[in-house]
């Protein structure tokens, strides 16, 4: 290969979906270059033959029949928009024309678990090439790289590592590629498998990645220097690494004025504290340290607990378990049924429990505030870690009171501050030099 072919051949080493095929048209051999994530190759070849190709047709005639225009490697980004390049057998001439778009295995649907107002109603799908194509259409850049990886464990699994070569954190990229290359013989079927491949333990509370099903959210992470892992058969993108900012910020926030954006993120940060500390604080003040309450508030709490047979900790633990069961049941049911279960579990069951004098009305109020604050975060999966930490703090508060509450909170702060994935601290969000990019 020479000239244009050499340039494209080098790029094909970094783009797993960039294909170069030899094609005989008439009496001449040519090279067909395209991204199979955005172009249907079979239908494109049929389109070429149906354009009137004969045995004595020339290269210039083919260009005219396909409404092509001269092409050079400087216009490589055109291929991401669905154009196809035909190179002369010598590799010294080329023209491009519009290819037939790749068909999808199912229609593109709205995100099911994430919501962004006024964002494109597009979500990732199961085919790997389709997801790569969605990212290419969302972020049309010649610096967008999609490297391919194959895992040959119990079953062969294809994956693609996507990054922006101009913005990516070089140390992050090197470490992630090293982990993926060294694990090519391993099985990749679950998130726990991926955690081990990336050098983490299955027992880590915080994974080194977070999942998103919105291409716009994934591309915004690319522009901030992070990398994305797409796995064939999974309708999500794995964004590496997970940072604290992912709990309280989304790309859509930047559609709003700066003051409103910071107000929303501050509200989510406050919701995090409310969700994490409110149940434990109630248990600590009522059951262990009631002397810290004002006399009026202490009397109000005491009057609400008249006739309640359970201690405060068991009240809170019982309702926490019921709320978690309700949340999990609504996640697994169709939306039409899930809405009914939410009403039954939240209103009917809560009212019946209070009327039966099993728990006090104050516990219902505190738990409702905490659960509602939990879902103020952009990504539902990020709330799972928070719910586990909340249960730990409730247990410590029931044993040690306010001291246990603050000891548990400080321990969590120390834990998250020591987390580091691929050389990037989890609390990198508080690097004020990078705050404007978050």
Say if 104 falls within a structural domain.
no
Measuring CA to CA, which residue among 158, 161, 83 is closest to residue 127?
Answer: 158
Tracing tokens 């604290």 back to the chain, one arrives at 244
**Which residues, at least 6 apart from 314, have a Cβ–Cβ distance to it below 8 Å?**
none
Mean pLDDT of 372-394: 84
Statement to judge: residues 51 and 9 lie in one domain:
yes
Statement to judge: residues 229 and 364 lie in one domain:
no
Task: Kindly tell me if the per-residue pLDDT of 339 is higher than 90.
Answer: no
Task: Kindly tell me if the per-residue pLDDT of 434 is higher than 50.
Answer: no
Structure confidence at residue 407 (pLDDT): 93
Q: How far apart are CA 147 and CA 149, in angstroms?
A: 7
Between these two residues, 298 and 178, which has the higher pLDDT value?
A: 178
Structure confidence at residue 177 (pLDDT): 92
Statement to judge: residues 328 and 202 lie in one domain:
no
List, for residues 52-107, the tens digit of each pLDDT value. 777 777 788 888 888 888 888 888 888 888 889 988 888 788 889 988 888 765 66
- Under a CB-based contact definition with an 8 Å cutoff, are residues 394 and 313 in contact? yes
Say if 250 falls within a structural domain.
no
Mean pLDDT of the chain: 83
Task: Kindly tell me if the per-residue pLDDT of 340 is higher than 70.
Answer: no
Say if 433 falls within a structural domain.
no
Question: Would the pTM count as exceeding 0.75?
Answer: yes
Statement to judge: residues 190 and 280 lie in one domain:
no
- Measured N-to-C along each axis, helices 402-418 and 258-283 cross at an angle, to the nearest 10 degrees, of 130
Statement to judge: residues 138 and 267 lie in one domain:
no
Structure confidence at residue 270 (pLDDT): 92
Statement to judge: residues 296 and 406 lie in one domain:
yes
Say if 291 falls within a structural domain.
yes
List, for residues 147-196, the tens digit of each pLDDT value. 989 888 777 888 999 999 888 988 899 999 999 999 888 888 888 888 98
Mean pLDDT of 4-20: 85
Structure confidence at residue 120 (pLDDT): 67
Statement to judge: residues 66 and 136 lie in one domain:
no
Mean pLDDT of 375-390: 81
Task: Kindly tell me if the per-residue pLDDT of 111 is higher than 70.
Answer: no
Statement to judge: residues 283 and 410 lie in one domain:
yes
Q: How far apart are CA 267 and CA 2, in angstroms?
A: 58
What is the domain extent for residue 212? Answer: 128-242
pLDDT band at 112 (very low <50, low <70, confident <90, very high): low
Q: How many domains does the chain have?
A: 3
Structure confidence at residue 343 (pLDDT): 64
Structure confidence at residue 432 (pLDDT): 35
Statement to judge: residues 204 and 293 lie in one domain:
no
**Which residues, at least 6 apart from 195, have a Cβ–Cβ distance to it below 8 Å?**
201, 202, 204, 207, 208
Say if 270 falls within a structural domain.
yes
Say if 120 falls within a structural domain.
no
pLDDT band at 438 (very low <50, low <70, confident <90, very high): very low
pLDDT band at 291 (very low <50, low <70, confident <90, very high): confident
Say if 432 falls within a structural domain.
no
Structure confidence at residue 345 (pLDDT): 63
Task: Kindly tell me if the per-residue pLDDT of 392 is higher than 90.
Answer: yes
Task: Kindly tell me if the per-residue pLDDT of 360 is higher than 70.
Answer: yes
Task: Kindly tell me if the per-residue pLDDT of 2 is higher than 60.
Answer: no
DSSP at 426: T
Structure tokens at 76: 């490589």
Q: Is the link from the previous residue into 313 a cis peptide, with omega within 30 of 0?
A: no
Say if 122 falls within a structural domain.
no
Task: Kindly tell me if the per-residue pLDDT of 372 is higher than 80.
Answer: yes
Boundary of a domain, candidates 76, 98, 120? 98
Statement to judge: residues 223 and 272 lie in one domain:
no
Tell me the range of 298-302, 342-346, 366-370 where mean pLDDT is highest.
366-370
Task: Kindly tell me if the per-residue pLDDT of 436 is higher than 50.
Answer: no
Task: Kindly tell me if the per-residue pLDDT of 371 is higher than 70.
Answer: yes
pLDDT band at 352 (very low <50, low <70, confident <90, very high): confident
pLDDT band at 11 (very low <50, low <70, confident <90, very high): confident
Statement to judge: residues 422 and 276 lie in one domain:
yes
Q: Could you tell me the sign of the dihedral formed by the alpha carbons of 325, 328, 333, 338, in that order?
A: positive
Task: Kindly tell me if the per-residue pLDDT of 435 is higher than 60.
Answer: no
**Which residues, at least 6 apart from 427, have a Cβ–Cβ distance to it below 8 Å?**
243, 244, 416, 417, 419
Statement to judge: residues 157 and 215 lie in one domain:
yes
């Amino acid at each position: 290969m020479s000239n244009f072919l050499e340039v494209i051949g080098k790029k094909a080493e970094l783009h797993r979906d960039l294909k170069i095929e030899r094609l005989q048209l008439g009496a001449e051999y040519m090279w067909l270059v395209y991204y199979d994530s955005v172009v249907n190759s079979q239908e494109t070849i049929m389109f070429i033959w149906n354009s009137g190709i004969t045995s004595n047709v020339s290269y210039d005639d083919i260009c005219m029949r396909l409404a092509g225009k001269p092409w050079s490697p400087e216009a490589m980004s055109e291929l991401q928009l669905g154009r196809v390049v035909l190179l002369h057998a010598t590799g010294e001439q080329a023209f491009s024309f519009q290819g037939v778009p790749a068909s999808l295995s199912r229609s593109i649907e709205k995100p099911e678990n994430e919501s962004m107002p006024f964002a494109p109603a597009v979500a990732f799908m199961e085919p790997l090439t389709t997801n790569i194509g969605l990212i290419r259409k969302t972020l049309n850049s010649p610096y967008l790289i999609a490297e391919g990886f194959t895992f040959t464990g119990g079953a062969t699994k294809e994956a693609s590592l996507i990054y922006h070569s101009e913005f990516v954190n070089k140390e992050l990229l090197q470490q992630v590629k090293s982990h993926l290359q060294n694990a090519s013989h391993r099985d990749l079927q679950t998130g726990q498998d991926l955690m081990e491949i990336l050098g983490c333990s299955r027992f880590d509370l915080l994974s080194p990645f977070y999942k998103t099903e919105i291409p716009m959210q994934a591309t915004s992470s690319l522009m901030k220097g992070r990398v994305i892992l797409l796995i064939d058969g999974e309708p999500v993108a794995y964004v590496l690494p997970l940072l604290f900012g992912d709990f309280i910020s989304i790309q859509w926030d930047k559609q709003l004025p700066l003051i409103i954006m910071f107000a929303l993120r501050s509200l989510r940060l406050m919701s995090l504290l409310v969700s994490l500390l409110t149940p434990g604080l109630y248990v600590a003040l009522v059951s262990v340290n009631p002397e810290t309450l004002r006399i009026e508030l202490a009397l109000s709490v005491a009057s609400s607990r008249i006739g309640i047979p359970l201690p405060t900790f068991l009240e809170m633990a019982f309702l926490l378990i019921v709320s978690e069961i309700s949340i999990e049941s609504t996640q697994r049911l169709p939306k039409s049924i899930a809405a009914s279960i939410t009403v039954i579990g939240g209103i009917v069951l809560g009212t019946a429990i209070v009327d039966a004098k099993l728990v006090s009305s104050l516990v219902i109020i505190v738990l409702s505030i905490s659960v509602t604050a939990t879902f103020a975060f952009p990504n539902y999966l990020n709330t799972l870690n928070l719910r586990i930490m909340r249960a730990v703090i409730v247990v410590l508060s029931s044993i040690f009171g306010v001291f246990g509450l603050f000891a548990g909170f400080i321990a969590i702060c120390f834990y998250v501050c020591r987390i580091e994935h691929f050389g990037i601290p989890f609390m990198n969000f508080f690097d004020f030099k990078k705050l404007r990019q978050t």
